[in-house]
Structure 1
Amino acid sequence: MARTQGSRADITGPLVREHSLRLFARHGYAAVSMRQIAAEVGVQAGALYAYTDDKQALLAQLMTGHMDRLLAAWSDDPALPPLARLERFTRFHIAYSLDHADAVFLSYMELRNLSPDNHAAVSALRRRYEDQLVAILRDGQAAGVMAVPDTRLAAMALIAMLTGVTNWYREGGRLDRDRVGDIYWDLARGAVGA
């Protein structure tokens, strides 16, 4: 099917991803049809297939894209003391999550809807991110400034706690982002026995 007159691939492709992300995050992957996405973008449903093979491929693209951007945005500095690295990770994760709340929600809530191959690909990216925090925790234990019984479990628990901020935080609310970061940093430090 031909592209809608006046549409452009460099504009329509990003719009497909943007509207799909918003619709999936608001209504759930299973409840959203390709026709709904097309209507939001302003193209015919068949035109979407110029940008994705199907809805499953679109979901996988959104989730791997989110993880790729998250991994690219974070950089650890192993020269810093482990507690400083943990604080940087804590504040980074909160800020990134708040800035990309729909992608974070999708990444956690729709993992179950991925095909086995797509699930494996997204899980591998998630593990690479978790490994960054595991390394910080291991270095903290080796330096004697952190105490956790299982670094992998502690890393996943910390990430879940930090990601949870997207469920309740609202700009202009009782706490600003800096104060939320301060409180979560206190919680993270306590969680690792520091």
Structure 2
Amino acid sequence: MARTQGSFAAQTGPRVRAAALTLFARQGYAAVSMRQIAAEVGMQVGGLYNYVSDKQSLLMDLLTVHMEEVLTALEAEPRPADPVAALESFTRFHLRFHTERPDEVFISYMELRNLTEENFATLEAMRARYEAQLEAILSDGQAAGAFHITDARVSTRALIAMLTGVTTWYRPGGKLTLAELEEIYCALVLGAVGGRP
């Protein structure tokens, strides 16, 4: 039976995506079968194909949606003209956005290896758009003498790796509040680029 028009977006589709996200994050993409995803949603595996064409497209959908959301959210953030303030703003944004989505972040980094070549290229282009925002801040700060770095692109990748790594250990309700974490990481990031608050 064909699915009702709009039901993917309204009801079953989000449940399929949520189940896949949880299973991929806990067990790894390669270890999860479509049958497991269907069971998690409470349907027969044949019914799952009314909503997704295959496991690869499901993974790609999860990764694409995550990158679209982070890009949209970042573009909505005001960017201060001062490079130091802009770097602090980016740091706080990255921490806030990513600590709320640890599963999405985990599969966005760990499961890139399981994408087809074409899908990988699409995701890499989206990631490059995000990295370009930070690279522009670092380049501006370097030109203004506010930051002391040798390569803005390498520094960008190093900083993003450091910031994203927070999701592997930070949990709300722990020793540090998110606001305290932001303060610590702003100081770390500024120190890494030779800047001063």
TM-score where L is the length of structure 2:
0.93
**Counterpart contact for 1:2–1:47, Cα < 8 Å:** no
In 2, distance between residues paired with 1:97 and 1:78? 19
Letter in 1 for 2:56: Q
**Counterpart contact for 2:34–2:55, Cα < 8 Å:** yes
In 2, distance between residues paired with 1:40 and 1:99? 23
**Counterpart contact for 1:91–1:181, Cα < 8 Å:** yes
* 1:159 is aligned to 2:173: no
Q: Tell me whether 128-137 or 48-57 shows the greater mean CA deviation.
A: 48-57
In 2, distance between residues paired with 1:46 and 1:148? 55
1:61 equivalent in structure 2:
61
Identity of aligned residues (%): 56
In 1, distance between residues paired with 2:65 and 2:115? 14
Residue 80 of structure 1, CA deviation: 2.1
**Counterpart contact for 2:35–2:45, Cα < 8 Å:** yes
In 2, distance between residues paired with 1:16 and 1:193? 46
In 2, distance between residues paired with 1:163 and 1:79? 22
**Counterpart contact for 2:2–2:50, Cα < 8 Å:** no
Letter in 2 for 1:16: V
Structure 1 segment 4-83 matched on structure 2, within 5 A: 8-9=7-8, 10-75=10-75, 77-83=78-84
**Counterpart contact for 1:147–1:193, Cα < 8 Å:** yes
After superposition, give the CA deviation of every residue in 1:110-148 in whole Å (9 maximum; x if it has no partner). 011100000000010000000000000001111110111
Q: Tell me whether 77-86 or 160-169 shows the greater mean CA deviation.
A: 77-86
Segments of structure 1 that go 5 or more residues without pairing to the other structure are none
Aligned residue for 1:156, secondary structure, equals helix
1:129 equivalent in structure 2:
130
Residue 104 of structure 1, CA deviation: 0.6
Number of corresponding residues = 191
In 2, distance between residues paired with 1:154 and 1:174? 29
* 1:89 is aligned to 2:90: yes
Q: Tell me whether 43-52 or 109-118 shows the greater mean CA deviation.
A: 43-52
1:190 equivalent in structure 2:
191
TM-score where L is the length of structure 1:
0.94
In 2, distance between residues paired with 1:132 and 1:77? 12
Residue 79 of structure 1, CA deviation: 4.9
Structure 1 vs Structure 2 CA RMSD: 1.5
Segments of structure 2 that go 5 or more residues without pairing to the other structure are none
After superposition, give the CA deviation of every residue in 1:133-174 in whole Å (9 maximum; x if it has no partner). 000000111111011111111001100000011011112111
In 1, distance between residues paired with 2:34 and 2:80? 48
Letter in 2 for 1:110: E
In 1, distance between residues paired with 2:2 and 2:78? 49
* 1:100 is aligned to 2:101: yes
2:172 equivalent in structure 1:
171
